[in-house]
Structure 1
Amino acid sequence: MKKIYGSAAEALDGLMFDGMTIAAGGFGLCGIPELLIAAIRDIGTKDLTVASNNAGVDDFGLGVLLQTRRVKKMISSYVGENAEFMRQYLAGELGLEFNPQGTLAERMRAGGAGIPGFYTKTGVGTVIADGKEHKDFPTGPEGAAETYIMEKGIFADLAIVKAWKADATGNAIFRKTARNFNPPAAMCGRVCVLEVEEIVPTGSLDPDHIHLPGIYVHRLIQGDHEKRIEQRTISEG
């Protein structure tokens, strides 16, 4: 099976349609699939639902899809670095489903494992629990009942993720904290497109070091990345 494509646009060919759901890896600007995001912007697909920890910043990452009004709804944990995100949400122009970070990661992982829903205590008694099924389980001290809420697994039409290196079959390694949401995002996509800094020969990666098995990856590109710094902090000389 051919997995390597020449560009982000080629790798997305035939996959995009209006109203689709996309799971995107990354945390802030760390480990984001910036080449694939830019290609989605250029393709012009609209009314997207995007599941991602956040929406980048105003002029980079997923922020470019907000600027061009491609996104209808975000499923996110944190939105504090994007002024356009805030403006669209407060103006009623953008749907937003807030998730605790662990819940969002587990919703992606559950979707990738074929699990349609799961119970968690996180969010019980808050607005996160509004409209969700509540159920008691004997998990407290001496079997006391504790309340859980039902969260649904995320089954995305497309996953876009970024890794450090991969072989030609898609076995991938992430570098340090850039792993973040990328593995669960990759798992929950019906089709997963992976961008990497380096493609290495198949068999050259230590199997014990692989973070994402190639079985989850359908298409693969190599490219140059800007790796912009989201918050630059320096000390005085």
Structure 2
Amino acid sequence: MIDKQVPDAATAVGDIGEGASIAVGGFGLSGNPMGLIEALHARGVGGLSIVSNNCGVDDWGLGILLGSGRIRKMTSSYVGENKEFERQFLSGELEVELTPQGTLAEKLRAGGAGIAAFFTPTGVGTQVAEGGLPQRYDGSGGVAQASAAKEVRTFMVAGREREFVLEEAIVTDYALVHAAVGDRHGNLVFNKAARNFNPLAAMAGRVCIAQVERLVEPGEIDADRVHLPGIYVHRVVEVGPGIEKRIERRTVKEA
């Protein structure tokens, strides 16, 4: 379908069902697709497996899904400012696959590019490669589930041998992303820091749903300004420029 606009966020996420896997853009609270997250929360589905850099905060971002017990597993790079994330993880309610941030980004990009796996030096000599990293606790301080060991190989790089760990790509059922501008063909432009995990999450989803602050006609976006081509995007919903944008942590200097 060439015209990918849908009328509202509820329609956009209307077929996301119980147990779906979803890649979600954003870094901290920057670039969170809040309209889509809220619409998904309203649907009431749970058992979700979410791939995102972090899980928002207790009352914003993915934190609203987490707080309602909708998320079964998080694949992310850090816990961040979310106390409920920490509580659910340590209590054994939530499975967490902690992944180095750059590795997580590349796993998403590789999934979108059709690359099954790749070797990286990140994590060599640690539990990331050797296994044993807690993924689920038993609620009593013990580890109920730990990560498995990964393949490590030696390659000659720049005239010397180095070890690299094999990381598998990530492909999810859906992707939810936020962009500043999009057209009806799905071409997207991200604004500053919101161009974080959003393009990568979009690539990894079999069905990518984008909320945009401003929807324009095809051809209005200069081709050189397109950050993500419409080939990766399946649905576009306009949420307007007046949406609430929160800051995770604000530090100010006293006058």
* TM-score, normalization by structure 2: 0.89
- Residue 133 (1) aligns with residue 151 (2): yes
CA distance in 2, matches of 1:95, 1:56: 16
Q: After the TM superposition, which residues 76-155 of structure 1 pair with which residues of structure 2 at under 5 Å, given as runs?
A: 76-129=76-129, 130=131, 131-139=149-157, 142=159, 144-155=160-171
CA distance in 1, matches of 2:17, 2:193: 31
Residue among 201, 207, 220 paired with 1:204: 220
CA distance in 1, matches of 2:14, 2:90: 34
Displaced runs of 4 or more, over 3 A: none
CA distance in 1, matches of 2:239, 2:98: 32
Contact 2:48 2:73 in 1 (8 A): yes
- The one-character-per-residue Cα deviations of 1:158-215 (angstroms, maximum 9, x if unpaired) are 0000000011111110001110000010001000000010001211111001001011
- The one-character-per-residue Cα deviations of 1:124-152 (angstroms, maximum 9, x if unpaired) are 01111121111111125x3x321111101
CA distance in 1, matches of 2:76, 2:219: 36
For 1:10, the equivalent position in structure 2 comes to 11
Count of residues in correspondence between the two structures: 234
For 1:223, the equivalent position in structure 2 comes to 239
Q: After the TM superposition, which residues 166-185 of structure 1 pair with which residues of structure 2 at under 5 Å, given as runs?
A: 166-185=182-201
> 1:149 is matched by which residue type in structure 2?
V
**Structure 1 unmatched ranges of 5 or more:** none
Secondary structure in structure 1 of the residue aligned to 2:166: strand
> 1:8 is matched by which residue type in structure 2?
A
Which has the larger share of strand?
Answer: 2
For 1:65, the equivalent position in structure 2 comes to 65
> 1:78 is matched by which residue type in structure 2?
Y
Contact 2:56 2:80 in 1 (8 A): no
Give the root-mean-square deviation of aligned CA atoms: 1.0
By how many angstroms is 1:235 displaced?
A: 2.4
Residue among 188, 195, 208 paired with 2:211: 195
By how many angstroms is 1:20 displaced?
A: 1.4
> 2:248 is matched by which residue type in structure 1?
E
**Sequence identity (%):** 53
Secondary structure in structure 1 of the residue aligned to 2:206: coil
CA distance in 2, matches of 1:12, 1:36: 7
Q: Which has the higher mean CA deviation after the structures are superposed, 110-119 or 1-10? A: 1-10
